[in-house]
Every structure is written in C-alpha cells, then in structure tokens.
Amino acid sequence: MEKFILIALFGFFITSLSAQEWTTDYDEAIKTATEKNRNIVLVFQGSDWCAPCIKLEREIWTSEEFKTFASGHFVLLKADFPRKKANQLDKAQQEKNNNLAEKYNSAGNFPFVVVLNANGKVLGETGYQKMTPQEYITLLTEFEK
C-alpha cells in the first residue's frame, strides 16, 4: 500500500511540474513570453456564468493534451469576469482585467481567445468551438504563421 501511495504522489508531482499554470498578470505574461520566446494565449472568460467559457475550460484548457503542448509553447493568461459575489475578484485584479478588455476585447465577447506575440500584437482571435484539444491546438498555432 505504501508503494502505491508513493508512486501516486510521484506521478502527481511529475504531472504538476510539466503543467503550465495560468497567470492573471499581463506584464508577467509579456515578460515570460519575451524571455522564453513564446506567444501568449489570452482568454476572456466568465468562469461562473458563461456556459461556453465553462465548456472551453473543461474540454480544452484542462485536457492533458493541451496542457502538455502549452507548457512548452505558450504563455497562458486569463482575464476572468465572474458575476457571483462569492467569486468576485479584488479591485486591483478587476481593474487589470477591465484594461485588458478595453485593449483586446472591446466587443465584450465571452469566451474570447486572443493569441498575442511577446510585444502584445494580436496574431489571431477565436472563441469556443466544438473541437478536440488537438484541433484547438492546431487552430491556435495557425495564428502564429
């Protein structure tokens, strides 16, 4: 039993090392993208009210296929706009997200996915699409060409 627990913990540790975390800080994303020579996937979402946003999270962003690919290819940036009081962001984060929306999502679409280069230039835009993780990865990488 102890061996099983140790193996499970080791597997979890290795998986967590390879999975890239999402940031909520634009400046940090730009800095990391510049340092690692990567593009940024910026996602505007309503995590507690937008059904297509929740589907995109569940079907694409949390898939092992996407996480593995993104960890070596993209910097991941989320701008969340929750509506429920229990999920409200602090004022500073909400202000940052509002500023990002003014710059990259003035139409207020949700979900809205923007691929940016390390200088913040828009390379492509999309939203929720009923696709496999691999198809979505292909879509995002097409914007880089």
CA distance 70 to 25: 17
- In the chain, alpha helices (H): 2-18, 26-36, 51-56, 64-71, 91-104, 133-142
Q: Which domains does the chain have, with CATH numbers?
A: 24-142 (3.40.30.10)
Per-residue pLDDT of the chain (145 residues; tens, 9 = 90+): 555 444 444 444 443 444 569 999 999 999 999 999 999 999 999 999 999 999 999 999 999 999 999 999 999 999 999 999 999 999 999 999 999 999 999 999 999 999 999 999 999 999 999 999 999 999 999 999 9
Residue 88 · residue 53 · CB < 8 Å? no
CA distance 98 to 38: 24
Find, among 58, 59, 75, the residue nearest to 22 by Cα. Answer: 75
Show Cβ contacts of residue 79 under 8 Å, excluding neighbours closer than 6 positions. Answer: 24, 42, 43, 44, 45, 96, 97, 100, 101, 105
Find, among 124, 140, 111, the residue nearest to 44 by Cα. Answer: 111
